[in-house]
C-alpha cells in the first residue's frame, strides 16, 4: 500500500512514467521492463472523461505511448493509461479505478508497417495507472508505438467500455 501511495504522489507531481515503470508493473501485475532514461514518450494526453461513478464523481482519462530507446530492451512498445479525478486533465489526483476498469494495448510499427500488438489487457486490481508493453517489432529501421486506452464508463445510458482512444510515441531509428 505504501508503494501505491508513493506512486500516486509521484504522478501528481508530474514525474515522467519512465521513473515509474517498475512500480507500475508491480502494482498492476503487468510484466514490462522498466524504461531506460532517454525513452521517447507522447506525454500524458487527455483523451476522455468517464463516469459518473458512485456517488457522483467523474475521471479524466489519459494515455501515454512510449518507445524504449535504451537497455535492456530497445524498441519495446509500451502503452500507459492513467485516470485522475475530474477536472485534473492528467495532472489531478489519481482516480482509483476498480479492477477491470482500465484497459491498455500497445501496437508496434517498423518503417511504417504494422508489426502487431500486445493485445488488450485490463487492470487486475484497483489502480489509477495501468501499463502494457513488449518488443513487438524486430529488425532495423524507424520504430513507432501507438498506445491505446479504454475505460469503464456510462455510454448511451448503460455502463460499458468507452470507445478506444490512442496516441503516438515519437519515432526513433535503430
DSSP result, 67-133: E--STT-TT-EEEEEEEEETT-TTSS-B--BPTTSEEEEEEEEETTEEEEE---EE-SSSBSEEEEE
Domain borders along the chain are 2-30+39-173
Identify the DSSP state of 6.
Answer: H
Percent of the chain past pLDDT 70, that is, above it, reads: 78
What does the pLDDT read at residue 170? 96
> pLDDT tens, 111-130?
999 999 999 999 999 999 99
Quote the cell numbers at residue 65. 505511448
- Which residue would you say has higher pLDDT here, 54 or 8? 54
Confidence at 38, pLDDT banded by 50, 70, 90:
low
Q: What pTM did the predictor assign?
A: 0.77
What does the pLDDT read at residue 34? 38
Q: What are the residues whose beta carbons fall under 8 Å from the beta carbon of 6, sequence distance 6 or more?
A: 23
Mean pLDDT across the stretch 51-75?
A: 91
* Lowest model confidence (mean pLDDT) among 24-33, 53-62, 78-87, 156-165: 24-33
Cα distances from 139 to residues 69, 98, 111, in angstroms, run 14, 39, 10
What does the pLDDT read at residue 26? 30
Residue 26, φ and ψ in degrees, nearest 5: -70, -50
Mean pLDDT across the stretch 153-159?
A: 92
Confidence at 108, pLDDT banded by 50, 70, 90:
very high
Inform me whether the pLDDT recorded for 18 exceeds 80.
no
Sequence-separated contacts (24+) of 20-24 with Cβ below 8 Å: 20/129, 21/131, 24/80, 24/129, 24/130, 24/131
Reported as type and span, the H/E element at residue 63 is strand 57-67
Amino acid at each position: 500500500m505504501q508503494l501505491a501511495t508513493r506512486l500516486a504522489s509521484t504522478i501528481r507531481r508530474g514525474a515522467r512514467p519512465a521513473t515509474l515503470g517498475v512500480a507500475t508493473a508491480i502494482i498492476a501485475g503487468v510484466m514490462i521492463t522498466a524504461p531506460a532514461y532517454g525513452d521517447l514518450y507522447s506525454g500524458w494526453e487527455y483523451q476522455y472523461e468517464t463516469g459518473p461513478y458512485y456517488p457522483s464523481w467523474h475521471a479524466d482519462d489519459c494515455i501515454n505511448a512510449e518507445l524504449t530507446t535504451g537497455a535492456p530492451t530497445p524498441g519495446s512498445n509500451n502503452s500507459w493509461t492513467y485516470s485522475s479525478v475530474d477536472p485534473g486533465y492528467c495532472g489531478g489526483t489519481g482516480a482509483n479505478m476498480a479492477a477491470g476498469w482500465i484497459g491498455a494495448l500497445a501496437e508496434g510499427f517498423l518503417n511504417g508497417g504494422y508489426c502487431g500488438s500486445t493485445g488488450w489487457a485490463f487492470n487486475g486490481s484497483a489502480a489509477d495507472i495501468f501499463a502494457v508493453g513488449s518488443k513487438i517489432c524486430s529488425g532495423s529501421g524507424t520504430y513507432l508505438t501507438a498506445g491505446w486506452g479504454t475505460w469503464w464508463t456510462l455510454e448511451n445510458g448503460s455502463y460499458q467500455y468507452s470507445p478506444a482512444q490512442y496516441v503516438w510515441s515519437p519515432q526513433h531509428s535503430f
